[in-house]
Structure 1
Amino acid sequence: MTNPHRSAARIQVATTLRRLREDRGLLRERAAAVLVCTTTKIGNIETAASGVKQAELEKLLDLYEADDATREDLLGLNSEANRRRPKSKLGGQISPWLRRILDVEAIATEVVYSSFELVPAVLQTE
């Protein structure tokens, strides 16, 4: 079951933390020892099933010896992931599946379109 509060920023923080840990050759047990938690919590953080607090993120970045650019980027993304989401103007909360789409759309930098046709259908005329 997916967590309805997984935002694109949280997913990006999670995957980057996992990559950093694996690049350093560290096991989840080592990260759990630093945070004084269980390996399950580290797994939940790395799959974006749960969020990570700023203080915990800083400890993990120290452990993984992340460079300054990565550290600054992840801390910014994490604060974005942890901020409260506004309700929609219609009064109800935005459904979780639509929230994920809106989050990904908000951080997108380009749109790529590919087609197997010589002239895409949208550009064809009679």
Structure 2
Amino acid sequence: MAAAQPGRVPPPRPHIDHPRGGPTVLRIILGTQLRRLRETAGITREAAGDAIRGSHAKICRLELGRVGCKERDVADLLSLYRVTDEKRRAEFLALARGTSTPGWWHQYNDVLPGWFETLIGLEEAAFLIRTYEVQFVPGLLQTEQYAHAVCRLGNPQASRTEIERRVELRLQRQALLTASNPPRLWAVLDEACLRRPMGGRGVMVAQLRHLLEMTQLPNVTVQIAPFDLGGHAAAGGPVTILRFLEPDLPDIVYLEQLTSALYLDKRDDVDHYLAVTDQLSAQAASPRDSQAILRKMIRAMEP
């Protein structure tokens, strides 16, 4: 087999100039492209860091799409990787400029932690979002009043204005489910999150009705994991898996913690969580039976 030639990584494709997911997706795509160029050229992260007056840790963050890219840094890396074609360089530099363009969620930076901002961009870009929740109804499926109760619980010292901002952001996120060409949402909900009376009986009845209405959308599937299922493989906590059509975006597992989150994209990790969610979906009530469970719960809670 012939050895790979330096700089032969394909340039970014024109159709990703303004993808769903905005700068989050552009950072990941550009980082993936730069990593391939570096590896093809046989250059270490340490050497690449020296070329942009940084460290190997900075190159690692850049290649993972965790940070935006300065055009000067990208230009220096392209020279180091022996990419000399002006058209190809221009495409990479245009992509670098896009990484610093704020997404719509930038206006909520006062209540939006950086670790959660990444999730919003990934949701916007995904064609499939699989999620399992054990404590709360997923944010993409919450009513306004239920979201108020959740935000107040998680931020007891927050002002009323801050809570309103957090709820507004959550409702803005939900718009992607009814936009043109929306992602598919496949949610498995532990019965516990439906039995926990967030906001009181009236709020919960409205939330259950909303869930039932959302199951009528062709791109939304809801399954309930009832108590009588017993233990299951996903008992450790909530899990979200995002899948993308863009080949430079790997499947990503999102694990939310109290004040931070983990984003896993290594193949072994993703495969493990995919197997867990597949098993859980097979064990949970079917979508049709889950609708029946929701109707029964609504009737039991109605005055």
TM-score per shorter chain, which class?
0.5 to 0.7
**Which of the residues 72, 83, 101 maps onto 2:90?**
72
Q: 1:92 to 1:42 in 2, by over 3 A?
A: closer
- Aligned residue pairs: how many? 102
TM-score between the two structures when normalised by the length of structure 2? 0.30
TM-score between the two structures when normalised by the length of structure 1? 0.66
* Mapped contact 2:48–2:77 kept (Cα < 8 A): yes
* Cross-structure match for 1:98: 120
* Mapped contact 2:38–2:44 kept (Cα < 8 A): yes
* Alignment of 1:85 onto 2:130: no
CA–CA separation in structure 2 for the residues paired with 1:101 and 1:70: 29
Runs of 4+ in 1 over 3 A off after TM superposition: 91-96, 103-106
| Alignment RMSD (CA, Å) | 3.0
**Which of the residues 56, 68, 71 maps onto 1:39?**
56
Higher strand share: 2
* Cross-structure match for 1:124: none
Q: CA deviation at 1:81?
A: 1.4
* Alignment of 1:51 onto 2:73: no
Q: CA deviation at 1:61?
A: 0.7
* Mapped contact 2:25–2:122 kept (Cα < 8 A): yes
* Cross-structure match for 1:11: 28
* Cross-structure match for 1:21: 38
SS in 2 for 1:48: coil
Gaps of 5+ in 2: 1-21, 128-180, 182-244, 247-303
* Cross-structure match for 2:79: 62
Q: Which has the higher contact order (CA 8 A, sep 6+)?
A: 1
Q: CA deviation at 1:78?
A: 1.4
CA–CA separation in structure 1 for the residues paired with 2:23 and 2:100: 10
Amino acid at match of 2:70: K
CA–CA separation in structure 1 for the residues paired with 2:126 and 2:55: 30
Amino acid at match of 2:31: A
Q: CA deviation at 1:25?
A: 0.5
* Mapped contact 1:35–1:59 kept (Cα < 8 A): yes
* Mapped contact 2:78–2:89 kept (Cα < 8 A): yes
Higher-Rg structure is 2
* Mapped contact 1:9–1:80 kept (Cα < 8 A): yes
Q: CA deviation at 1:86?
A: 2.8
SS in 2 for 1:45: helix
CA–CA separation in structure 1 for the residues paired with 2:94 and 2:63: 17
